[in-house]
Structure 1
Amino acid sequence: MDDRVGIGRLSTGVPGLDELMGSGVPELSFNLIAGNAGSGKTTLAHQMLFGMASPACRALFFTVVGEPPLKMLRYQQQYAFFDFDKLDTSVKFVNLAADIVDGDFDRVIARIIDEVQDFSPSLVFVDSFHSIMRSVPSDGENAAALQSFVQQLGMQMISWQATTFLIAEFAVPEDEYGSLFTVADGIIWLSQRPRGNTMARQIQVMKMRNAAHDLGARSFRIDSAGVTVFPMTSPEGAGAPRPGSTAVRLASGVQGLDAMLGGGVPQGYALLLAGPSGVGKSVLASQFLVEGARAGGNGILATFDTDYDPRLQQLVLDGNIGVCHPGLQDVSIDEFLHDLVTLIGEKKAIRVVIDSLPEFELALADDFRQALRRMVKVLKAVGVTVMMTTETEDGTASFLADAIVTQRHVELAGQRRRAIAVLKVRGSSHSHEMRYYDIVDGRIDIGEALG
């Protein structure tokens, strides 16, 4: 007979967060939501509050910030998660600002206990711990009183038959309040750091008792819907590996190129189109997607450019092609792969074009090499055939590619012409010729071999 008491889990209602925490928040746990100023702690707490609260699971939210609750709620109600129907029935806000003015911490504790006993909540949030710290001078007597208050608050939150959350502004874990980190069952850490001309937001579950939680720092986004967390998309998580097959070929849509490739693009391969600006890489990649749609297969175009091939625009409107358009300033590999894999599943796509890798490199900066490696492995695990454009066949992309096609400019009798060649097709014979080609009416037309 197993007499162990089971621990239930509560879904937070925040997309991606439950997965990060290892299936949600443990019931009756004491949790810290911490991070630096402006990282999104209060917004995350409010989204969890409304996501978890119900008539059977009432929530009490204590705020000790200087601004009135009405002002705070005026901003928070702009988010889609805000539910007016839950106010005062399932959700109650209590402002403690007046109680901490004179620094009487015993009064604050007594008020909190009274409110908890009166409302009988299943969820309790206290925002914010540092507002209490800043409310009193930092002399020795007050410091001792504050330390005692911190310990009492922590012990009270642990003793309630409720799942509790303390929101705190920390840049890093502070030794002075290390006891909070010790007794907390869960610690959710939010941060933001400069990346280029923008800020990169990350969230990390640093501690979650009785849970196999994700240990990594993951990207998250705050928009009109609220917080969306992007757990790491890995090849293992994307599905069982699906090795490419040279036995099954996809038509490229470019007459003459399929023969050069040994019969078309092998299914499940990652093909790299390399060449300088103006040689028609995007034109060839577009023909690859157009050919797929003509053959009855959907495709995905991942690009930073909003002005893509006119032939694709109608196919996008018809639903044959989906467009994954990451923001140039704030793209993260976690968010991009999440959106891309989701779109592949929605469209049941079998072809994907990444146009272009140099733009992704600019956006992802120092993370690009590792990001590219993960992206290619994930897409191959999903089972799609990938075509990527870049400016050179050297570098990380060439090692990851199963096939490489180069496009370049050549000089002939005082004229500049374009030429195309196949450098490699893994596991397959292919043409070693370099052939001229022209771009006519937005299409690539391959001609004779160079003499």
Structure 2
Amino acid sequence: MSKRVTIRQLPTGVAGLDELLGGGIPEFSFNLIAGTPGSGKTTMAHQIMFSLANPHRRALFFTVLGEPPLKMLRYQQQFPHFDIDKINTSIKFVNLSGDLLDGEFDRVLARIVEEVEIFSPSLVFVDSFRSMVQPVRDFRDDSAWGLQHFIQALGVQMTSWQATTFLIGEYPAQEENSSPVFTVADGIVWMSQHVHRDAMVRKLQVVKMRGQAQRPGLHTFRITDEGVEVFPRVILKDDGSQKKQLPSNQRLTMGVPLLDKMMGGGLPVGYSLLVVGPSGSGKSELSTEFLAAGVRLGESGVIAAFEKSPSQLLDSRLQKLIESGKVSVIDTRALDLSIDEIMHDLVSLIKRTKAKRVVIDSLSAFELALASIFQENFRESLYRLTSVLTNMGVTVLMTAELEDRYTDLRFSSYSNAFLTDAILMLRYVELGGQFKRVISVVKVRASNHSKEIRFFDIANDGITIGKALTNYHGILSGEPTLRDESDPKTPA
């Protein structure tokens, strides 16, 4: 053959799914939508069907061992993709459960073929088969073999029709490696839901899609009032093509002049900064200064609040920035999200607002949501998060709460400090019977930053950095008093 066959890709109408499939569903392909009960198989099938069906592309939907059409449509009509005007015109439902009462699978297959020949659909859906290779209690003893043979014959038949076909079923995980249906299918989409403690997350995997490069791995999806929405997992490229070319000498002000000087001239554009310290040490105030400094320069910002919802952001300065529209907030609902959804929301908001500065407050709550509830690899998730954002040219400030143990110099739990480009440490010291705040620059890559430890204070108008401490040993050893070089009365 001198010319390649062009396979048309059909848009699914499911947000994010086409990206995973490699552009859409290949026309005239035979696809399997499989997964656990309640994972959303039928809802996604209906969303695809109603999105694609029209007078010139009719759809035929068979229910075999699943719920009857009237019951199914009663619930599916709650979604906006449902269009009652398409029923019995562009879309036809056929219930075959009655034909299976005596276990005559050959007769059921003949009925399906007959309906397809009469209606001439461009789309065919067969839903659903429970426990595909398990014996059906109400059937004869040889029903297990008859059901398996029926499924195989149906799969082969569906591949021969000039229609895009979908087989929806509840398959056990081990069936993927043994059933001939998985071999015959051109595309396989696997849906599942994972429950841990009081939280649940749904995952989707494109196991197979012939003729096009699908997105590998597990991806989060959610069933909302709008239907199924998929959040494709971000894949980092190794060739560096995704990284924006940024000016090597361009820096952003932190909003505190002396802090900029301590960091060697400010925070380099496209860097990720980790601000660590105990509770109340000033991490959120420093984040507000960072965002406010950008607003003064005409730069929009985004804050992802893991610890507080937007209604709980009590900082008056931050509230004013948000109300002005210069700073946008993502309510991460930490107990309900995965890294895929977090990244989707963040990237979408950053692109929409053209944000230059992003604050993540805080990594401690982010870690709790991912590592504790969904048991995801927190270090891998944090690496993806920071890499994707900085590759977009965004400068990221992240906060993390650490217990101040004085003798234990840690910059983050799970040894994540190496993933960031810069680190600021906020601490308490005891001086004259009072706790004082101190700040130090731990690292700023490729910068000649200050090594001093300085006092700082928080007032209504922002952060003020004072003079340096002279007794560094005291900070590390936990001595009860320290000397401030600005106060000669302080004991050495």
Category of TM-score, reference length = shorter chain: over 0.9
Is the Cα contact below 8 Å between 1:196 and 1:329 reproduced in 2? Answer: no
Does 2:208 match 1:192?
A: no
**1:165 Cα deviation after fit:** 0.5
Q: Using CA pairs under 8 Å that are at least 6 residues apart, name the structure with larger relative contact order, 1 or 2.
A: 1
Q: Which residue number in structure 1 is paired with residue 397 of structure 2? A: 387
User: For residues 213 and 176 of structure 2, what CA distance do their matches in structure 1 show?
Assistant: 26
One-letter amino acid matched to 1:248: Q
User: For residues 170 and 131 of structure 1, what CA distance do their matches in structure 2 show?
Assistant: 6
Q: Which residue number in structure 2 is paired with residue 336 of structure 1? A: 342
Partner of 1:81: helix, strand, or coil? coil
Residues 306-342 of structure 1 deviation map (CA, whole Å, 9 limit, x = unaligned): 1223322233233211112222222111111111111
Q: Which residue number in structure 1 is paired with residue 277 of structure 2? A: 275
Q: Which residue number in structure 1 is paired with residue 424 of structure 2? A: 405
Partner of 2:425: helix, strand, or coil? strand
Residue pairs, 1:21-100, within 5 angstroms: 21-65=21-65, 67-100=67-100
> Which range is displaced more, 318-327 or 356-365?
318-327
- State the number of aligned residues: 451
Return closer, same or farther for 1:397/1:145 CA change in 2, 3 Å cut-off.
closer
Q: Which residue number in structure 1 is paired with residue 370 of structure 2? A: 364
> Which range is displaced more, 283-292 or 134-143?
134-143
User: For residues 112 and 300 of structure 2, what CA distance do their matches in structure 1 show?
Assistant: 57
Residues 47-70 of structure 1 deviation map (CA, whole Å, 9 limit, x = unaligned): 111122122111111113554322
One-letter amino acid matched to 2:209: M
User: For residues 86 and 382 of structure 1, what CA distance do their matches in structure 2 show?
Assistant: 43
Q: Equivalent of 1:355, from 357, 361, 364?
A: 361
Is the Cα contact below 8 Å between 1:243 and 1:380 reproduced in 2? Answer: no
**1:203 Cα deviation after fit:** 0.8
Q: Which residue number in structure 1 is paired with residue 227 of structure 2? A: 226
Partner of 1:234: helix, strand, or coil? coil
Residue pairs, 1:45-194, within 5 angstroms: 45-65=45-65, 67-130=67-130, 137=138, 139-174=140-175, 178-194=179-195
State percent identity of aligned pairs. Answer: 54
Partner of 2:451: helix, strand, or coil? coil
Partner of 2:336: helix, strand, or coil? coil
Q: Equivalent of 1:247, from 249, 256, 263?
A: 249
Q: Which residue number in structure 2 is paired with residue 310 of structure 1? A: 316
Partner of 2:57: helix, strand, or coil? coil
One-letter amino acid matched to 1:226: G
User: For residues 386 and 225 of structure 1, what CA distance do their matches in structure 2 show?
Assistant: 32
Is the Cα contact below 8 Å between 2:33 and 2:41 reproduced in 1? Answer: yes
User: For residues 203 and 176 of structure 1, what CA distance do their matches in structure 2 show?
Assistant: 18
> Which range is displaced more, 217-226 or 188-197?
188-197
Residues 136-156 of structure 1 deviation map (CA, whole Å, 9 limit, x = unaligned): 546543233323322332222
One-letter amino acid matched to 1:80: P
Return closer, same or farther for 1:243/1:408 CA change in 2, 3 Å cut-off.
farther
Residues 239-279 of structure 1 deviation map (CA, whole Å, 9 limit, x = unaligned): 63136655212111124211211222211111111101110
Is the Cα contact below 8 Å between 1:11 and 1:18 reproduced in 2? Answer: yes
Runs of at least 5 residues in structure 1 that lack an aligned partner in the other structure: none
**1:190 Cα deviation after fit:** 0.8
Runs of 4+ in 1 over 6 A off after TM superposition: 131-134
Residues 384-404 of structure 1 deviation map (CA, whole Å, 9 limit, x = unaligned): 111110124145431022111
Residues 139-180 of structure 1 deviation map (CA, whole Å, 9 limit, x = unaligned): 543233323322332222122111111001013142796111
Partner of 1:247: helix, strand, or coil? coil
One-letter amino acid matched to 1:347: T
Is the Cα contact below 8 Å between 2:66 and 2:127 reproduced in 1? Answer: no
One-letter amino acid matched to 2:339: I
Q: Which residue number in structure 2 is paired with residue 444 of structure 1? A: 463
Q: Which residue number in structure 2 is paired with residue 377 of structure 1? A: 387
Is the Cα contact below 8 Å between 1:272 and 1:397 reproduced in 2? Answer: no
**1:375 Cα deviation after fit:** 0.9
Partner of 1:56: helix, strand, or coil? coil
Return closer, same or farther for 1:243/1:362 CA change in 2, 3 Å cut-off.
farther
> Which range is displaced more, 234-243 or 311-320?
234-243
> Which range is displaced more, 60-69 or 283-292?
60-69
User: For residues 453 and 230 of structure 2, what CA distance do their matches in structure 1 show?
Assistant: 47
For normalisation by structure 2, the TM-score amounts to 0.87
Is the Cα contact below 8 Å between 1:62 and 1:93 reproduced in 2? Answer: yes
One-letter amino acid matched to 1:19: E
User: For residues 144 and 403 of structure 1, what CA distance do their matches in structure 2 show?
Assistant: 63
RMSD after superposition: 2.2
Return closer, same or farther for 1:110/1:42 CA change in 2, 3 Å cut-off.
same
Is the Cα contact below 8 Å between 1:243 and 1:268 reproduced in 2? Answer: no
Return closer, same or farther for 1:143/1:430 CA change in 2, 3 Å cut-off.
closer
Runs of at least 5 residues in structure 2 that lack an aligned partner in the other structure: 403-410, 470-483, 485-492
User: For residues 316 and 96 of structure 2, what CA distance do their matches in structure 1 show?
Assistant: 59
